[in-house]
Amino acid sequence: MISIQNLSFAYKKKIVFDQLNLQFEAGHVYGLLGKNGTGKSSLLRNIAGLLQPKSGSIRVNGLTSFERLPVFLEDVYMVPEEFYLPDIPVADLLQHYAPFYPCFNGDKFRNYISVFQIPADSTLQNMSYGQKKKVLISFALATNARILLMDEPTNGLDILSKSQFRKILAEALDEERCIIISTHQVKDLENLIDRITIIDEGKILFDEKVEAITKKLSFRFAYDAEEVSTALYSESSLIGHVIVAPNTGEEESKLDLELLYKAIVTNSHQVTKLFQP
């Protein structure tokens, strides 16, 4: 569905990616993680065709992203972290923008904003940032675009809204849709994401399915000093230490995305070695 081959991209002299290779398939929710400035947003914008690669290629459903052909644009939607929505009623938003997406479903949109508790007769001018973001997320999902790119979608959402977001995103996923989410709010999404891609300094540090991660790694509390000292990553808590360790017992443990990210960033060689054939 999305094929990235030998992608190189830079802002003037600042190299962001150098010979990056990635594949994204339909039927999955991908979590794109990394520190600020590592290229997560730039990667999404390259996929959306908003930025032009220095070299290499990005093909989405067989089409070159940067050409932004109409058949490409109607099947790709990006929810940016920072956005602008015109000061118009929600109904006018649908009237003016929905026709660009042939598969747009108005009933789904009204259901989504209902879940988000946004009145259908609201005017965007009178909404908070969080409410506008919920309208934008609802619109994005209602387009039925097969490629959905989301940059920090839970920023600006309160605790209840984050729960509502998880609910409607889970309902929106199907076998033909590919959803890529760039986020720092890993706790908000760890029950939705089924593949983790971690970027650091423009390179892929880690790219694995959640199923493989929970088979190879154990996320647990540890009270034994030796167990803590030999862990791939550990941090203290009020009742002991939480650790990431090799899963020698071959029992799947519950993924902790925050711990996984810290383990990868601080001890990438030892962690990734466990996933090598």
Instruction: State the average pLDDT over residues 55-82.
Output: 94
Average pLDDT over the chain reads 90
Residue 121 has pLDDT above 90, yes or no: no
Which of 18-27, 151-160, 185-194 comes out lowest in average pLDDT? 185-194
At 230-270, the pLDDT tens digits run 899 999 877 789 999 999 877 777 889 999 999 998 999 99
pLDDT computed for residue 119 by the predictor: 84
Per-residue pLDDT band at 178 (split at 50, 70, 90): very high
- Any idea of the CA torsion for 108, 72, 173, 199, to the nearest 10 degrees? -130
Q: Where residue 101 falls among pLDDT bands split at 50, 70, 90?
A: very high
Q: What's the rounded Cα separation, in Å, for the pair 181 and 188?
A: 11
How many percent of the chain have pLDDT more than 70?
100
Q: For 254, what's the count of Cα atoms within 13 Å in the CB-facing half-sphere?
A: 7
Structure-block tokens of residue 150: 């989301």
What was the pLDDT predicted at 36? 79
Q: Does residue 72 carry a pLDDT above 90?
A: yes
Binning pLDDT at 50, 70 and 90, where does residue 187 land? confident
Q: What is the pLDDT of residues 192-232, one digit of tens each?
A: 888 999 988 778 889 999 999 999 999 989 888 888 988 99
Q: What is the pLDDT of residue 188?
A: 77
* Domains of the chain in sequence order: 2-82+144-201 (3.40.50.300), 210-273 (no CATH)
Look at residue 171 in the predicted model and tell me its pLDDT.
86
- Do 111 and 72 form a contact (C-beta atoms < 8 A)? no
Q: Residue 100 — very low, low, confident or very high, per pLDDT cuts 50/70/90?
A: very high
Residue 12 has pLDDT above 90, yes or no: no
Percent of the chain at pLDDT > 90 equals 60
Residue 172's pLDDT band, with cuts at 50, 70 and 90, is confident
Q: Would you place residue 62 in the very low, low, confident or very high pLDDT band (cuts 50, 70, 90)?
A: very high
> Rounded to the nearest 5°, which phi and psi values hold at 33?
-115, 155
d(CA 206, CA 129): 33
Residue 157 has pLDDT above 80, yes or no: yes
Pull the structure tokens for residue 125: 């001018």
